[in-house]
Structure 1
């Protein structure tokens, strides 16, 4: 007789609609393969060159030989289990210094299987008991709220950019006998909203976090992709008191198939006997019991890309930045063309105008849920992402996200025209 498992007896996260949202989106995409899709936040594939993978790998192996490693040592580094914290932390540190003006001790870097693993490790380390709470900007990337759900960590949303609400939430939680542990934030071109924080607000955020005893978990996958590059430092670059745990990723700046990210965790951890270590060392302990180590082949390929670009990813991503900037300009232009001001007012339609990144958000005159998205794909041949799953405490029911990263300019023009037809057909 076959064993039957009851979903009610499995972990509660498996019944959470949050974990179904992205699965549904993937299924809809497969059912309507000819639909133009504004849904995925993946990078443009035109920048991927398969014939260069071996070049990057060879560059990293030559780098190891240049450091004096024997052929046996090179073979071991590439094919065997490696150090839990990774083998390219030194190159990551050099890249952060060049691109972000950020001085990082390689010992404070943990190379992870994508930024998602970094989120899981950081949340598991920081949140010790049921009284610990993660504050998140709302709307919020579902990857971090999903990770918190898997770990049974409570999350409390704070309206994006509202520092007064952040202070109020932290104080309310402490008054309830709970511990607001950290704030998760994406300061540059956030997923899903596309918004960015000003330099002044970044400094104010760090001050507020210090006053409330909060760590800040900064996630920075989109920081290189401004339409007009300016001097807007990361929170970590502004961090003077080791308040910020920094999550980095090579998914958008190199390629996502490598599944490579990293955490900069330079906070000092003091043991009961007085000995100290870095938070990065504690994250490595957790990693040793999950993924053990990050694949050396992925690290070697990304390491070779870094070496080939003199550890300067900003310069290497100039063509990609131009592509995404042009696409965002086309999206905003086409929305304006299809919905002039008078019609926007009549329909109750609006959108934001991000300064860069992959995403923009539309406020629409209908419920933008999964059923509406499927109707749009079936009847009008265009896909988008509902915003409601990005609001942990509810909201966003009449908002949708558009991603411009994976499309061409002509596809965006055609997609907006189809979307405009759908919006008019569904306006109340």
Structure 2
């Protein structure tokens, strides 16, 4: 049998960042009775297998109401389809209704999950070895992993206690240019980021857009959690504030609909001019990249999501009120449980503290010891609780912090998970 040296394989095969999620899944599989405060997946109780057929029928009814024949409907659902997808009009309307983002349907590309959107955007924008991606740190491993697969250098822009500072973005961009490289794009999650939970104040969003324009940066805005704030305070997306056309918006239906459909999208309405003066939208140009990755996003999966949008009259904010309330309650439960099991009288002396996000799924807990894979194994086996080492989200750092997720569990399991975590911290400190 042929034997291959790992050193002869691409770094993305064995990169610790890319394999970290596999490690978490493997530990969870070996300790199935452990409470997982690691998983950032949506709560299962919102989903039913019967919904798939119902949404399919809703979408088919929508197509017929639009005047499409049965033959045409059959072709749309069961054949290869348009590379950029068939939901552009519905998504464009949803963006306008829910987020105040006004873009034409042609600016929307439907992708096989938001992860594919990240790969496509990076591949299209980063042309040569001197093109680099600036990314907020700590950073979602999906983006850093995509960059590693493509061979795109990632330069960290560290978050402060109050989230990303536009002045830091400007400083990093200037430094990168001084090194002879081109900072091509900036990746950021403005609302309730994974993993930090940080949110960007509206004035900061405006300043960030000014910095992007000044430094010729495209902004990759990832918005998977924007619906799930602890309150109804309007938080405008960067894309809705963008007057210079520098924001490419990355969206997902995993949290607002259901993750099994694996449908995401990107919005790229920037104008591309060719040598002859022809003008197209960036999303249309990117279709060549997508066609070589997945040909097109599953039309059947698109139809299911299309049915959700039709039923919701293209307002996922209105359609997700039950999920919004559930995740709000769970985040409050997690924060209250931390207060209960780590009382201030004891935690200050032990160096335990955490942030209080204004929404989303995640809380970061600082601890006075290394929170690494070895300790996670002990935590799962002896204490029956899982969490995510924050070091997974840094190039170098985050070794004394862990991420807790509150999305996947019933509230009482969240409380019990924190109780078990408190025993681990007490014993290790």
- TM-score normalised to structure 2 length: 0.98
Question: Could you report, residue by residue, the CA deviation over 1:112-161 in whole angstroms, capped at 9, with x for unpaired residues?
Answer: 00000000000000000000010000100000000000000000001121
Q: Which residue of 1 aligns with 2:344?
A: 341
SS at 1:60 equivalent: helix
In structure 2, stretches of 5+ residues that fail to align are: none
Query: Cα distance, 1:315 vs. partner?
Result: 0.7
1:31-70 aligned at under 5 Å gives the runs 31-70=30-69
Displacement of 1:340 in angstroms is 1.4
| 1:404 correspondence with 2:406 | yes
Q: Report the number of matched residues.
A: 425
SS of equivalent to 1:156: strand
1:289 is paired with a residue whose SS is helix
Report what 1:72 is aligned to: 71
Given the alignment, which residue of 314, 317, 320 partners 2:320? 317
Query: Is structure 2 residue 127 aligned with structure 1 residue 128?
Result: yes
SS in 1 for 2:293: coil
Q: Which residue of 2 aligns with 1:102?
A: 101
1:342-357 matches, cutoff 5 A: 342-357=345-360
Q: Indicate the SS of the match to 2:304.
A: helix
CA distance in 2 between partners of 1:417 and 1:233 (Å): 36
In the TM superposition, what are the counterparts of 1:252-263 in structure 2 within 5 Å? 252-263=255-266
* Alpha-carbon distance between aligned partners in 1 of 2:95 and 2:234, rounded to the nearest angstrom: 15
Query: What is the aligned partner in structure 1 of residue 205 from structure 2?
Result: 202
Tell me, yes or no, if the aligned pair for 2:309 and 2:315 is still in contact at 8 Å: yes
Distance in 2 (alpha carbons) for counterparts of 1:142 and 1:14: 14
Shift of 1:229: 1.5
Q: 2:423 aligns with which of 414, 421, 424?
A: 421
1:374 aligned to which of 374, 377, 396: 377
Displacement of 1:80:
0.2
Provide the C-alpha distance between the structure 2 equivalents of 1:267 and 1:380, rounded to a whole number of angstroms: 51
Q: In structure 1, what is the Cα distance between the partners aligned to 2:305 and 2:391? A: 35
| Aligned pairs (5 A) from 1:290-329 | 290-329=293-332
Kindly report structure 1 stretches of 4+ aligned residues shifted beyond 6 Å.
none
Deviations 1:344-402 (A, max 9, x none): 1110100000011000000001100011111001000000000001012x110001000
Q: Matched residues in 2 for 1:97 and 1:162: separation?
A: 28
In structure 2, distance between residues paired with 1:20 and 1:262: 25
Instruction: Report 1:132-281 matches (<5 A).
Output: 132-160=131-159, 161-281=164-284
* Whole-Å separation in 1 of the counterparts to 2:135 and 2:427: 35
- What residue is the counterpart of 2:3 in the other structure? 4
Return the offset for 1:7: 1.5
The runs of 5 or more residues in structure 1 that have no matched partner are: none
TM superposition shift of 1:15: 2.7
* CA displacement 1:177-222 (0-9 Å, x = unmatched): 1000010000000000011001111001101111111010000000
CA contact (8 A) 2:165 2:204 kept: no
Give the aligned CA root-mean-square deviation in angstroms: 0.8
Alpha-carbon distance in 2 for matches of 1:30, 1:16 = 21
Q: State the TM-score, normalized to the length of structure 1.
A: 0.98
Deviation at 1:299, TM superposition (A): 0.4
Instruction: Please say if residues 176 and 183 of structure 2, whose CA atoms lie closer than 8 Å, have aligned partners that are also in contact.
Output: yes
Deviations 1:302-328 (Å, cap 9, x if unpaired)? 000110111110011111111111111
Rounded to whole Å, the distance in 2 between the matches of 1:11 and 1:25 is 22
Distance 1:239 1:23 in 2: 37
In 2, the alpha carbon distance for the partners of 1:376 and 1:325 equals 27
Q: 1:329: Cα distance to partner?
A: 0.8
Q: How far apart are the structure 2 equivalents of 1:263 and 1:148?
A: 17
CA offsets, 1:69-100, max 9 Å, x none? 11111111110000001011110011111101
Counterpart secondary structure, 2:289: helix
